[in-house]
Structure 1
């Protein structure tokens, strides 16, 4: 049986981390039992220079290659600042048409769009570039707040490290959650960021749930922190008793459902404050019932108010 091939399409100006991050996930998966064949392709087969000036050695040209299991297109600082050259879009189109699945990292979505591969599909990119992607691909439904989006066999992911989240999701799709979780732990990254989770949110610290049952609940909360996540509603989602759900949280995460929801909302509120949102906006968007309830959580966790937190970190943010 042939080894599943993951082809990275690289070109001059490609963002190095968009290549290295996902590639490291597949390489680590190989160390832990997978068998991916990682290939680097460029439009002409020549080596390319990344956005950092680091030269990337290429295996061969993209043209004439057999179909790949996964064809991955990283982004570039050059797009969306300017149009994607026609020859670059053409180089993407043919291998993407025959690949088992096509994925982009960050602004790599602009190359997929230029090749007509996002027409009529849901997609995401870095939140700063989402409006421009929507303008260039008017038939595409751009979801600016998602970590990654899957539409059929087409996957798009948000900025920079979201490519790692996407690669972990692909590994999990191929080999199951246990191997993907082992890869995440080996790379000291988090596996809990569901595709629909806000780009601004920070994952809850701690080990991921062991069971798929509890993970479905934590994914639900992280994907929509503003939702109705009372103990009763979460138990209803799993069709279990409130007592059983509380026991799952205690045994696997050493916390309660209410504290977990609160922590997810706290992480999101803190990230929103880091992005420059007002404390009231952060409380609303993070799902807190009121500013006062958010303030109490900040006081308990950080011993400072949300406003004081924002002032303290304003210099480094700017």
Structure 2
């Protein structure tokens, strides 16, 4: 309501809680109310559909400014296991693969997320988890649907996409996420797009 009174919704897309969307549209006819959206970002104005939508907005802003890894850390600290964008399901492997309850796998994921730019042999993950390499692979795949290496690669690709979106060259993005060169990054991006 404060944004509307200040005239900041005029000519902009916005949203609010579904129970007051009609009232918002009536009070501010120059605003374009997006029905049933979790949040809407229009230029520098961001509106949400209530408190839960506000959490999604906060994670969206952290992702935009600091990357998906930072948003994942914030989400975990807040005990939020999924971040949704304004209109679609969350696509981040970092958050999507955290909805399980296997604490051993969560520990392995913590290690991978903290050191995803490094080479992480299965023996190192097994040592950190206190179980065999075979058990790590079995538990990890059962909980996340991925192998530990595939999970690490997904995190690297996600971070690389973020860097590319902020203007980094493929070479810089590749090195930043732990790939030897841009060729590997390009190959993995092509494969991810095709799948």
Structure 2 length normalisation: TM-score?
A: 0.55
Q: Distance in 1 between matches of 2:84 and 2:171?
A: 38
Q: Distance in 2 between matches of 1:185 and 1:276?
A: 24
Q: In the alignment, what sits opposite 2:51?
A: none
Seen in structure 2, the aligned counterparts of structure 1 residues 280 and 219 have a Cα distance that, compared at 3 Å, is same
CA contact (8 A) 2:69 2:113 kept: no
Greater fraction helix: 2
The equivalences for 1:34-183 within 5 A come to 52=45, 147=70, 162=71, 166=74, 169-170=77-78, 172=79, 180-181=80-81
Give the Å deviation of 1:292.
Answer: 2.4
Q: Distance in 1 between matches of 2:73 and 2:68?
A: 14
Q: In the alignment, what sits opposite 1:264?
A: 155
Matched, 1:230 2:138: no
Q: In the alignment, what sits opposite 1:254?
A: 145
Seen in structure 2, the aligned counterparts of structure 1 residues 189 and 210 have a Cα distance that, compared at 3 Å, is farther
Q: Distance in 2 between matches of 1:165 and 1:145?
A: 9
Greater fraction strand: 1
Q: Distance in 2 between matches of 1:283 and 1:212?
A: 31
CA contact (8 A) 2:83 2:95 kept: no
Structure 1: stretches of 5+ with no match in the other structure = 1-12, 14-23, 25-50, 55-105, 108-125, 128-143, 148-161, 173-179, 191-201, 304-318
Give the Å deviation of 1:53.
Answer: 10
Structure 1 length normalisation: TM-score?
A: 0.35
**Aligned Cα root-mean-square deviation (Å):** 4.3
Structure 2: stretches of 5+ with no match in the other structure = 1-5, 7-16, 18-43, 48-60
